[in-house]
Chains A and B, each alone.
Chain A
Amino acid sequence: MTELHLAAALNDAGWHPAAWRDPSARPSALFTAGYWGDLAAEAERGLLDFVTIEDALGPPAPPGGVTARLDAVLIAARLAPATSRIGLVPATVVPHTEPFHVSIGIASLDHASRGRAGWRPDAAPAHHAHAPHFGRRDLPDAALLGEAAEFAEVVRRLWDSWEDDAEIRDTATGRFLDREKLHYIDFEGEHLRVRGPSITPRPPQGQPPVTVLADDVAGYELAARAADVVLVAPRSRGDAVTVVAQVREAERTVERTGEPLRVLGDLVVFLDAVPGAAHARLARLDGLARAAFDAEVFTGTPGDLADLLLDWREAGLDGFRLRPGVLPADLAAITRELVPILRGRGAFRESYGTATLRGHLGLPRPANRYAVSDPGRRP
Chain B
Amino acid sequence: MPVKQIHLAAHFPGVNNTTVWSDPGSGSQIDFGSFVHLARTAERGKFDFFFLAEGLRLREMKGRIHDLDVAGRPESLTVLSALSGVTARLGLAATVNSTFNEPYEVARRLATLDHLSGGRAAWNVVTSWDAFTGENFRRGGYLAEADRYNRAREFLGTARELWDSWSGGDLVADPASGTFARPDAGAFAHRGPQFDIAGRFNAPRPPQGRPVIIQAGDSAEGREFAAAEADVIFSRHGTLEDGRAFYKDVKSRLAKYGRRPDELKIMPSVTYVLGDTEEDAAERAADIRRAQVTPQGALAYLEGFWGRDLSGYDPDGPLPDVEPDLGEGVSKGRAQFRGDRSETVRRWRALAAERGLTIRELVIEATGRQTFVGTPRSVADQIDEFVRTDAADGFVLVPHLTPTGLDDLVEHVVPLLQEKGVFRADYTGPTLRDHLGLEAP
Contact = CB atoms under 8 A, between A and B. Distances in A.
Interface of A: 20-23, 25, 27-28, 30-33, 36-37, 56-61, 63-71, 73-75, 77-82, 96-101, 104-105, 107-109, 111-114, 130, 132-135, 162, 167, 169, 171, 173-179, 182, 191-197, 199-201, 288
Contacts of B327: none
Interface string B166-193: 1000010101001111010110000000
Contacts, number: 221
Contact of B72 (A56, A65, A82, A200): A200
A132 B69 CA distance: 42
A285 B340 CA distance: 71
A156 to B, nearest CB: 15
Given A68-B171, A101-B101, A135-B195, 20 more contacts: A20-B173, A27-B175, A33-B115, A33-B118, A36-B116, A57-B105, A64-B180, A70-B111, A71-B109, A75-B81, A75-B112, A78-B81, A96-B104, A99-B138, A112-B78, A130-B199, A132-B198, A134-B104, A193-B135, A195-B135
A177 B100 CA distance: 26
B72 A78 contact: no
B73 A74 contact: no
Contacts of A63: 181, 183
B65 A177 contact: yes
B173 A27 contact: yes
Q: Give me the 3 closest cross-chain CB pairs, A-B, nearest first.
A: A174-B296, A108-B74, A195-B135
Interface of B: 21-22, 30-32, 35-36, 55-58, 64-65, 67-75, 77-79, 81-86, 100-102, 104-105, 108-109, 111-113, 115-118, 135-138, 140, 166, 171, 173, 175, 178-181, 183, 185-186, 195-200, 202-204, 294-297
A67 B186 CA distance: 9
B273 to A, nearest CB: 21
Contacts of B197: 132-135
A315 to B, nearest CB: 38
Given A20-B175, A68-B186, A108-B78, A74 B105 contact: no
Contacts of B175: 20-23, 25, 27
B65 A74 contact: no
A358 B191 CA distance: 46
Contact of B67 (A74, A78, A176): A176
B108 A71 contact: yes
Nearest to B56: A199
13 contacts: A63-B181, A67-B200, A68-B203, A69-B203, A77-B82, A97-B105, A108-B78, A109-B82, A167-B72, A182-B65, A194-B138, A200-B74, A200-B75
A135 B69 CA distance: 39
Given A32-B115, A78-B84, A192-B138, A96 B67 contact: no
Q: Is chain B's binding surface mostly helix, strand, loop or mixed? A: loop
Contact of A70 (B22, B74, B138, B203): B203
Contact of A33 (B68, B70, B116, B173): B116
Contacts of A171: 22
A199 B57 contact: yes
B138 A199 contact: no
Nearest to B22: A171
A80 B200 contact: no
A59 B186 contact: yes
A28 B102 CA distance: 28
Contacts of B68: 174-176
Contact of A68 (B72, B78, B204): B204
Contacts of A59: 186, 200, 202
Nearest to A154: B138
A100 B65 contact: no
A102 B113 CA distance: 16
Contact of A176 (B21, B57, B86, B196): B21
Contacts of B57: 195, 199
B181 A74 contact: no
Contact of A200 (B30, B113, B118): B30
Contacts of A197: 58, 65
Nearest to A92: B105
Contacts of B140: 193
Contacts of A97: 105
A59 to B, nearest CB: 5
Nearest to A182: B65
Q: Which of A37, A67, A82, A105 has the most CB of B within 10 A?
A: A67
A101 B104 contact: no
A71 to B, nearest CB: 4
Which of B108, B109, B179, B185 neighbours the largest number of chain A CB atoms within 10 Å of its CB? B108
